[in-house]
Amino acid sequence: MIDKVLQENLMRIVMKEVDIAINEGNSSFAAILIDEKGNIIGKAHNTAKTENNPVLHAEINLITEVCKKLNTRNLSEYCLISNAWSCSMCMSASIKAKIKNFIFGALIEDDMNPNITIFDIREKANGDVNIITGVLEEECKQQIENARKLKEVKVKEVSPQEELEICKEIRKKVFTDEQGIDVEVDIDKYDNFNNDTVHFLIYLNGEAIGTSRYIKLSNEKVQLQRLAIKKEYRKKGYASQLIKFMEEYAKNRGIDYLELHAQYYAREFYEKLGYLPISEKYIERETGIEHINMSKKLI
């Protein structure tokens, strides 16, 4: 069995994979498979939400991918490492794949359903099942808890005037105070309530942390504008959640296309969300900032 230092190093790699799951909006679980020397054979994370499939836990994805890659159903030579105890489905699947060695980080929550633990399964399994648990337990637990907090997020359409003022405050912080864009450029004729503009706010545990709006370009097309997330909440998946909500909102109103003028540095972020460039890079006249126009077909 690999030593403790290597166990911890490998667990950190699992935790990086967990970050990918969280950023995609999936549950915060990942797993890797290693050989006896600690070489990584495969990596996977939970994709149940994005693929609308409740069985696509990290371990299931991992076993599926590795068996396919190695053209085998027998993974007995390998050890599975996950950031939390496997659920009963995944533990059973691993045993069916003949995995004998397991390393886990955090304990799984008490409200697991069905409530069958890895140790219950080990008791019923034929042959050896070796389990090490508690590797970087606190860090793994913290990562899972933080991800859970991320879920206490609400996105809504802005309706009373007070909420619109909150949008403007957030934008002032981001566009004027941080980026040096004049308030007169930022706040414009669309910053009131009319049929062609919809404003949105994203709340985390009751605090407004970001905003955006869309304006109607035609019956089929809207333009996403003024996406602003408070500095301390960036790179945590909130912008994606806000945009996905806006896409759904627009789609439900018969809108086919969402366009946006992205600041050029954010181009990859939008590409990951499915936006394609529809222009060359250019300097926006009002702000002097490099931009690119992008578009996504919603239906």
Which positions touch Zn ion (CB under 5 A)? 57, 87, 90
By beta-carbon proximity to Zn ion, the closer residue of 2 and 90 is: 90
Query: Closest distance between Zn ion and the C-beta of residue 118, in Å?
Result: 10
By beta-carbon proximity to Zn ion, the closer residue of 57 and 199 is: 57
Helix (H) or strand (E) holding 96: helix 88-96
- Beta strands (DSSP E) in the chain are 30-34, 40-45, 79-84, 101-106, 130-133, 153-157, 197-204, 207-216, 221-229, 257-263, 276-277, 282-283, 290-297
Q: How many CB atoms lie within 10 A of CB 48?
A: 18
Query: Closest distance between Zn ion and the C-beta of residue 142, in Å?
Result: 20
Query: Closest distance between Zn ion and the C-beta of residue 90, in Å?
Result: 3
Residue 15, both tokens = 């935790």
| 3 state DSSP class of 113 | coil
| 3 state DSSP class of 12 | helix
**Cβ neighbours of residue 160 closer than 8 Å, sequence gap 6 or more:** none
Residue 162, both tokens = 């007070």
Burial of 235 (C-beta count, 10 Å sphere; 0-12/13-18/19+): exposed
Helix (H) or strand (E) holding 124: helix 118-124
Which residue's structure tokens are 């915060």? 28
Query: Closest distance between Zn ion and the C-beta of residue 104, in Å?
Result: 12
By beta-carbon proximity to Zn ion, the closer residue of 63 and 208 is: 63
By beta-carbon proximity to Zn ion, the closer residue of 29 and 190 is: 29
By beta-carbon proximity to Zn ion, the closer residue of 85 and 200 is: 85
By beta-carbon proximity to Zn ion, the closer residue of 15 and 90 is: 90
Query: Closest distance between Zn ion and the C-beta of residue 86, in Å?
Result: 5
